[in-house]
Structure 1
Amino acid sequence: MERPLSSPAPTFDELLGRARALVRDDRRAVLGVAGSPGAGKTTLAERLVRALNDDGTPWVAQVPMDGFHLADVELARLGLRDRKGAPETFDAAGYAALLRRLREDTQGPGEGEIVYAPGFERVLEQPVAGAIPVFPSARLVVTEGNYLLLGQGSWARVRSQLDEVWFCELDEGERVRRLVARHEVFGKDHDTAVAWVRGTDQRNADLVAATRDRADLVVPGSLRYPAAG
């Protein structure tokens, strides 16, 4: 069940324990991390994967939703270039199909085959096919993205492929500040970054925020992480 915001926020160690508990009888589990742009989804996913894999043989893989962005050439054909990042600018059906393939792998570690997932190149802002290998030893897959809880169109197929979904939530002012800074790092000037965040990104953020109540757990984007060892 979702943890109300009035309850104590989970610690990072508690999140690690909850993630470990998703894997039972060597069945592969898939954990989703949802949230609005700039809320800290990727940081949370990366920290979880790193900490869980510190135990020894890597048994946790990370597969971001962003690999299913449509390429700019296709967005231009569809007339959606200025809506990049909106739900309709992703291959949602392809993403759901990959999650299903990953989740239905019932072969034990060391058996089966590598599943290749697409990645996303932030500098180019383009998807990259076959960039992420998910090895048979991976018993938990962590996937993060904005629209994991969206109930419309092909996105409705995604939730059923996820054992749990955690919603990463951050103070709105801090979220916007981080998002503007990210756009600037990847090449936008300040005014363009602000305009994009207050326009396209904000419409997307409002849509994502409306899915919060469907999550199993709310995690603050300000979560404290242990220092790297």
Structure 2
Amino acid sequence: MAASLCQLKAPDIYVALREMAASLCQLKEDMAVLQREATGQAQLKAEVDKLKAEVDKQKSEVDKQKTEVDKLKQQLQARQVAFSASLVAGSKSGQECTTGPFPTNTLLIYKHVPTNIGNAYNPNSGVFTAPVRGAYHFEWWVTEDYGGHAASAVLVKNSENVFMAWEKHGSASNGVTLLLEVGDVVFVRLVANTVARDNDNHHTTFSGFLLFPM
């Protein structure tokens, strides 16, 4: 009786074993597929990371080049310096505006500024400040008040009087080329007891420009 029970159950065991073997094979195949997919994803991730690193490197190079271009642009702008200004910002046609006389030398502030390339001249203070080391050329004109007083103005570098223009009847002018360091200042002072006349024709002027950097 026991033997017959074993004979009856054996086929079921073999069927179960075969099903288990088939399941194991399927699991192995599924694992192999997953491993291949994982390997592919890892390779894809590695490629993506490599491309990202290359993009970051190129971006860094572009930023570096942009910084260099901006630096060169700033240097170029600093070397583009030229200005012209007259004493009176505006007046009615034919109206004369006379500055002075004063008991001491007095800084002239030229308000009418048609040209100020580089913004080195300050129309609020009347002072030119050198943005780069180099050779600069300056010219200034001053006009008297029809014979009542002489017209005279001196160009000053920092605190040093450089050249003077003086005239009793009419206009006086002068010019000079100076070697300036960065931050040196240049301006014009009206000489004590003299005058500077100006109107909408702009007789009394102050101009300068950078000849070349050094």
TM over 0.5: no
When you count helix as a share of all residues, which structure comes out higher?
Answer: 1
Smaller-chain TM-score range? under 0.3
Which structure has the larger Rg? 2
- TM-score, structure 1 normalization: 0.23
- TM-score, structure 2 normalization: 0.24
When you count strand as a share of all residues, which structure comes out higher?
Answer: 2
More RCO (CA 8 Å, sep 6+): 1
